[in-house]
Amino acid sequence: MCLQHLPSSKSVRRAFLIIFVLLSPAWPWGNEGHSAINRVAAEKLPPDVPAFLRNAAAQLAYLGPEPDRWRQPSELALKRAQEPDHHINLELIEGMELPPDRYSFYRELESKRAQTPGHPDDLLPERVGLQPYITMEIFGRLVVAFRQYRLAVQEHRRPDFAEANAIFYAGWMGHYVGDASNPLHTTIHHNGWIGANPKGYTTANTIHWKMEGIFVAANFKQLQFADLVPAQPTLLKDPFHDYLAYLHDSHHEVETVYQLEKAGGFDGEGTAASRDFIRHRLAAGAAMLRDLWYTAWVQSGETAATPESPSPKP
């Protein structure tokens, strides 16, 4: 073969990249996006958050993709149990006031399903998705870990075990907060437009990974976003409702994703508009994550630990 007919090294790298991401078991934001959201959130923590967390940016970045590592069919029970944690289809629960715990949510969904003609399976919890519930449950774990750290320091005991717990919970939670910054994790149109489609949006089951996997990985150097994250954190007054508002803000951008895709925004290097959009969504994830970490730290100092006692059976 003549040298002029050999593919360029850039073409070869791009081909290998596409093959890699298509075969990768990861889904939301890919490794690059999730790692970056966690890392930037850590870098934006204020100095009153303990140094052990501020200095753990590399470990927190590693933990960003962790729940996607749990999606292999070789660990089928784990895969199936946590799949609904990555999304919530907000169209299916429009008008519902979401309760703060998952079991109350299950009951309300069952009531809604029973009252809906045909009792559609789309209203089962695993179909609707449980995104805000896993996030808030891990948030609670993080508050407890921070509280145990405070107690260890006050009582002159080793704090490293509590530190390890806090880092893991913070990194784990970061995955779901990052998922929620992607509008396609909030909608029934998560991988191709469903139903009436007067604007001719793509119905192909490729848009999800095309945007957050292939496009992000291929253009990551152009998608740096730390400068878009506010320098100072926000103390969340009501983390659950603030997180729901964050989910709805993301949901409002669903059609923007499809408009950008239709205009070729996720092909190759995309467009200035598509790159700006992705940068702002990644930044929104990092900002919300940093604010949740900061709020968990503050809350851990406001509530005292109580002696453990067995809970009565329901």
Which of 15-19, 62-66, 200-204, 257-261 has the lowest average pLDDT?
15-19
For residue 30, the model assigns a pLDDT of 73
Average of per-residue pLDDT values in the chain? 90
For residue 116, the model assigns a pLDDT of 96
For residue 83, the model assigns a pLDDT of 96
Cα dihedral 283, 286, 292, 298 in deg (nearest 10): -100
Q: 303: pLDDT confidence band, cut at 50, 70 and 90?
A: confident
Q: 12: pLDDT confidence band, cut at 50, 70 and 90?
A: very low
Contact by Cβ (8 Å): 288, 181 = yes
Arithmetic mean of pLDDT, 154-172: 98
- Whose CA is closest to 128, among 178, 94, 79? 94
Residue 87: phi and psi, rounded to 5, are -150, 170
Contact by Cβ (8 Å): 34, 174 = yes
Q: What is the CA radius of gyration of the chain?
A: 21
- Percentage of the chain lying above the pLDDT 90 cut: 86
For residue 314, the model assigns a pLDDT of 55
Task: Reply yes or no on whether the pLDDT at 7 is more than 50.
Answer: no
For residue 20, the model assigns a pLDDT of 39
Arithmetic mean of pLDDT, 16-30: 44
For residue 31, the model assigns a pLDDT of 84
Task: Reply yes or no on whether the pLDDT at 4 is more than 80.
Answer: no
Q: Tell me which of 7 and 233 has the higher pLDDT.
A: 233
* Domains defined for the chain, CATH in brackets: 20-89+129-189+202-302 (1.10.575.10)
Supply angle C-alpha 291, 68, 182, rounded to 5: 50
For residue 306, the model assigns a pLDDT of 58
For residue 275, the model assigns a pLDDT of 97
Give the pLDDT confidence of 96-138 residue by residue, as tens digits. Answer: 999 999 999 999 999 999 999 999 999 999 999 999 999 999 9
Arithmetic mean of pLDDT, 253-263: 98
For residue 313, the model assigns a pLDDT of 59
Arithmetic mean of pLDDT, 209-231: 95
Give the pLDDT confidence of 65-82 residue by residue, as tens digits. Answer: 999 999 999 999 999 999
Arithmetic mean of pLDDT, 3-21: 41
Q: Is 190 helix (H, G, I), strand (E, B) or coil?
A: strand
Full-model pTM:
0.88
The tokens 């959201």 sit on which residue? Answer: 37
Return d(Cα 19, Cα 13) in angstroms, integer.
10
